Amino acid sequence: MFSSQVTGKAIIFSAPSGAGKTTLVRYLLSEPALMLAFSVSATSRERRGTEVDGKDYHFLSNEEFQNKVDNNEFVEWEEVYAGTKYGTLKSEVERIWKSGKHVIFDVDVIGGLHLKEIFHHRALAVFVQPPSVEALMDRLKNRSTESEEKIQQRVSKAGLELTYADKFDVRLVNDNLDVAKAEALKLVNDFLAE
């Protein structure tokens, strides 16, 4: 799937929506010594707020997304919510590895497991766990980016996603953000040093 000449590792952060994975990934990206670059996922969903195409996501129509699926341009993809697809483009991973950096992913739980299966020993898969489902609901409400119906949909899905935590290399509980950042930094540093 990828050239054996291209070296690089994959850091995968997955979690139920609202658990804090994006905050942790942004923190790790701000640490230049780690040599990380963000893999921008593709999605068929609408943009939220101030999201920027090519920075937050590659926003595609359902037809464009399906064309890329048909052309085998994804490492992995799935329909996360009815009518809303997310995926990792092969070109993103290749671009990052060719630049001499390691790729870091911020993906949903099933996508994270698929990536771990694909990258095997080249990947560290971290499951970011909220302290409780109640805390997760509070975080989603405090975002003020989604309707009550969408929040309920995400919380319902989180219950199922939490059952996959043991399939990841590491479970990181995000109860205190400063502690979670320090733990994430140590995990990634140790993995990249192997």
Q: Do the domain assignments include residue 160?
A: yes
pLDDT, tens digit (0-9, with 9 covering 90-100), for 7-37:
799 999 998 877 889 999 999 999 999 999 9
pLDDT at 137: 67
Instruction: Please say if the pLDDT value at position 117 is more than 80.
Output: yes
Q: Are 167 and 141 in contact (CB under 8 A)?
A: no
Work out the average pLDDT over 151-180.
85
User: What is the CATH classification number for the domain harbouring 107?
Assistant: 3.40.50.300
Q: Which residues, in sequence order, are bridge partners of residue 14? A: 107, 127
Q: Do the domain assignments include residue 3?
A: no
Closest CA to 12 of 121, 160, 98, 154: 121
Structural domain total, the chain: 1
Q: Which residues, in sequence order, are bridge partners of residue 76? A: 88
Q: Do the domain assignments include residue 52?
A: yes
- End-to-end CA separation in angstroms for the chain: 23
pTM of this structure: 0.83
Q: Do the domain assignments include residue 193?
A: no
- Starting at the edge strand that comes first in sequence, how are the strands of the sheet with 10-14 ordered? 36-38, 102-107, 10-14, 123-129, 170-173
Q: How many CB atoms lie within 10 A of CB 48?
A: 11
Q: Do the domain assignments include residue 2?
A: no
Could you list the residue range(s) of the whole structural domain that residue 83 is in?
10-188
pLDDT, tens digit (0-9, with 9 covering 90-100), for 166-192:
999 999 999 899 999 999 999 999 999
